[in-house]
Amino acid sequence: MLFDASKLIEIDKLGDERGLLTVIEENITVPFEIKRVFYIYETKSGVRRGFHAHFKTRQALICVSGSCKVYLDNIKRKKDVLLDSPNKVLILEPNDWHEMYDFSSDCVLLVLASHLYDAEDYIRDYNKFLEVYS
Ligand code: TYD
């Protein structure tokens, strides 16, 4: 299976004297059609969540308030990404095992997803993830 690599992009802040506005459009800012939106908020301090990869779901992660970090592992590389501005968008490909952590108390992590929720699309076992993507 060939996927693009996950990547962090910075999108425009449209600003004037009233403040800022940032736009995300499907198939333009994010490389997929947006089928589902969810957000993670009021995460308790010290919590780490995620711990999965996907078969097909592509996602875009944006901290619209506060900050958090995302650990990414696609077997070939492991890295940590800091989301600390509403104009930073992490395009997260299905083959990245991901864990979110270091949530600030005001963090609202917005997630745009390419597919509707399907528990069968999750790979929650790390050994299975290695089997699927090695
Ligand atoms: P979970 O996958 O555990 O969150 P995280 O990956 O951040 O650790 O999701 C928490 C619960 O929410 C779980 O019972 C599944 C449910 N859920 C949905 O029903 N629909 C969704 O789109 C998502 C993302 C989760």
What's the 118 CA to ligand 1 centre distance in angstroms? Answer: 10
Ligand 1 contacts CB of residue 39 (under 6 A): no
Tens of pLDDT, residue by residue over 19-69, are 999 999 999 999 999 999 999 999 999 999 999 999 999 999 999 999 999
Six token digits for residue 115: 């597919």
Given a contact cutoff of 8 angstroms between Cβ atoms, the answer to whether 48 and 78 are in contact is no
- Which value does ipTM take for this structure? 0.95
Tens of pLDDT, residue by residue over 81-134, are 999 999 999 999 999 999 999 999 999 999 999 999 999 999 999 999 999 999
Residue 117 alpha carbon, nearest atom of ligand 1? 22
Ligand 1 contacts CB of residue 41 (under 6 A): no
Q: Quick one: fold of 7-15+23-133?
A: Jelly Rolls (2.60.120)
Sequence spans of domains, the chain: 7-15+23-133
Residue 100 alpha carbon, nearest atom of ligand 1? 7
* 3 state SS for 3-72: CCCCEEEECCCEEECCEEECCCCECCCECCCCCEEEEEECCCCCCCEEEEEECCCCEEEEEEECCEEEEE
pTM, two decimals, is 0.97
Given a contact cutoff of 8 angstroms between Cβ atoms, the answer to whether 96 and 6 are in contact is yes
What's the 19 CA to ligand 1 centre distance in angstroms? Answer: 33
Report the C-alpha gap between 134 and 128 in whole angstroms.
10
Tokens 């078969």 belong to which residue?
Answer: 55
Ligand 1 contacts CB of residue 49 (under 6 A): yes
Report the C-alpha gap between 41 and 120 in whole angstroms.
24
